[in-house]
Amino acid sequence: MESNEFRHWSVKAAEWGVDYRAGLRDRPVRPDVEPGSIFGAVAVSPPEQAEPMEAIFADFEATIVPGMTHWQHPRFFAYFPANAAPVSVVAEYLVSAMAAQCMLWQTSPAATELETRVVDWMRQALGLPEGFAGVIQDAASQATLGAVLTMRERALAWQGNKAGLSGQPRLRIYSSDQVHTSIDRAIWVSGIGEDNLVRIPTAGRNRGMAAEALERAIAEDRAAGMLPAGIIACVGGTSVGATDDIAAVARIAEREGLYLHVDAAWAGSAMICPEFRHFWAGVEGADSIVFNPHKWLGAQFDCSIQFIRDPESLVRTLAIRPDYLKTHGHDGIINYSEWSVPLGRRFRALKLWFLLRAHGLEGLRTMIRNHVAWSEKLAERLRREPGFEISSEPMLSLFSFRHIPAGAADLDQHNLDLVERINRDGRIYLTQTRLDGRAVIRFQAGQFEALEADVDCAFEVITEIARASI
């Protein structure tokens, strides 16, 4: 592609992006397509000869876009959005154009030093003490894997990487049954094994780990000759927002000499608002914390921050330093590839720097406060609506509900069918989960450009389709 052609298509792509975002409310949130339809529309074999960009771009618009779920749609109320504020998209244009590999300080000094600075900005914004350093990972899954590997190595006196797990004591890690499935994967990949992830019963409105049950499980495992290694607590579990008593768990971790990792993937962003920090009171006692600016704060995916109280333990676990990766003649520099499982690293800090400067913390706080208030209002409206019950109370902007019409033979199947009908309608997008063995429907408000009118629309769609299903 020649320079002038590169300019033309870069401008066209940027203009297309602006028009796409402006017209999202006119599109269904989730496409109504059948499995295999896009696959069948793409050529079976790769082209032997170059094709004109006009044809490629036309096929993109005709084949790909109609089959996309629109994560930036203001009425995306499913999962938790991977947001991309427009200013973050602009920053990503620049990152893509430079295409830097930022694995070491010397491979992009500005990328490394900006990451150090903006991560500390976020530490201050969340109210965390100065003792925490941090790194931008690609996703919370990667941060959790790093934490689990560090738990493993610390418990095994740093011999796991060298000697392997064969012949070692049986390691045990503790969490509730409300944590994200990324914890299960980290346990698999680390070699610890699913059978050694001990699920602690939950209790109370917040569905947090019962402290007494946690202490009892640790004591029983020690008595059985097993080796407790760490605890994974959550603030805002993905299913219905389950939140552990972080202060109580931290006290147990300290007393037992266990590594404590706190997963606050989506809810952590809300801690820029001081009035929500009670949800993770005691978090300063954690060894590591992860939250995703690419969710509620609007930094384009991927951008997950892991705060670490003792970075040297993480580096000791993950760093490999062949001579060709050394920065000779410099001491005390940070090579963030030594803080991550992957060696390769994108320039993730730039979009966060743009975002924080363009919106300011107060602008981001206003957005989060609005989402929480709108979600609470919707929960109350549904509570008052005949035939509905609130299954789990709002945790920040997330709650779950259930439609319970008189005469329904199978309420679980009715609610699963209802959420599918809502999603096929296209005006909003919701997801389901299971709570205490029952199928329930999740709602969360978190899309960066959502308005109160979009949440009001959710009420109208939910109630309209529910009435029609009776």
Q: State pLDDT tens for residues 266-296.
A: 999 999 999 999 999 999 999 999 999 999 9
Residue 211 lies in a domain: yes
Residue 321 lies in a domain: yes
CATH code of the domain containing 331: 3.40.640.10
234, β-bridge pairs: 263
Under 8 Å between Cβ of 294 and 351: no
Helix 140-155 / helix 311-318 crossing angle, nearest 10 deg: 90
368: enclosing H helix or E strand: helix 349-384
| Residue 24: φ, ψ to 5° | -65, -35
Under 8 Å between Cβ of 218 and 198: no
- Cis preceding linkage at 302, omega within 30: yes
Residue 362 lies in a domain: no
Per-residue pLDDT of the chain (470 residues), as tens digits, is 888 999 999 999 999 999 999 999 999 999 988 899 999 999 999 999 999 999 999 999 999 999 999 999 999 999 988 999 999 999 999 998 888 888 888 888 888 999 999 999 999 999 999 989 999 998 888 899 999 999 999 999 998 888 888 888 899 999 998 887 788 889 998 889 899 999 999 988 889 999 999 999 999 999 999 999 999 999 999 889 999 999 999 999 999 999 999 999 999 999 999 999 999 999 999 999 999 999 999 999 999 999 999 988 998 898 876 544 554 444 568 888 888 888 888 889 999 999 999 999 999 999 999 999 999 999 999 999 999 999 999 999 999 999 999 888 899 999 999 999 999 999 999 999 999 899 999 999 999 999 999 999 999 999 999 998 77
Residue 358 lies in a domain: no
Q: Write down how long the chain is.
A: 470
Long-range contacts for 408-416 (Cβ within 8 Å, ≥24 apart)? 411/438, 411/439, 412/438, 412/439, 413/439, 414/469, 415/439, 415/440, 415/441
241: enclosing H helix or E strand: none
Helix (H, G, I), strand (E, B) or coil at 323: helix
Residue 452 lies in a domain: no
Q: Quick one: pLDDT at residue 324?
A: 44
Q: Structural domain tally of the chain?
A: 1
Residue 301 lies in a domain: yes
Residue 232 lies in a domain: yes
**With a threshold of 0.85, does the pTM exceed it?**
yes
291, β-bridge pairs: 305
Handedness of CA 380, 381, 386, 387 (dihedral sign): negative
Residue 8 lies in a domain: no
Quote the CA–CA distance of 244 and 175 in Å, as a whole number: 10
Q: Quick one: pLDDT at residue 328?
A: 40
Helix, strand, coil content of the chain in percent (nearest 5): 50, 15, 35
Q: Quick one: pLDDT at residue 234?
A: 94
Domain that holds residue 110: 101-346
Angle formed at CA 133 by CA 95 and CA 274, multiple of 5 degrees: 95
Q: Quick one: pLDDT at residue 226?
A: 95
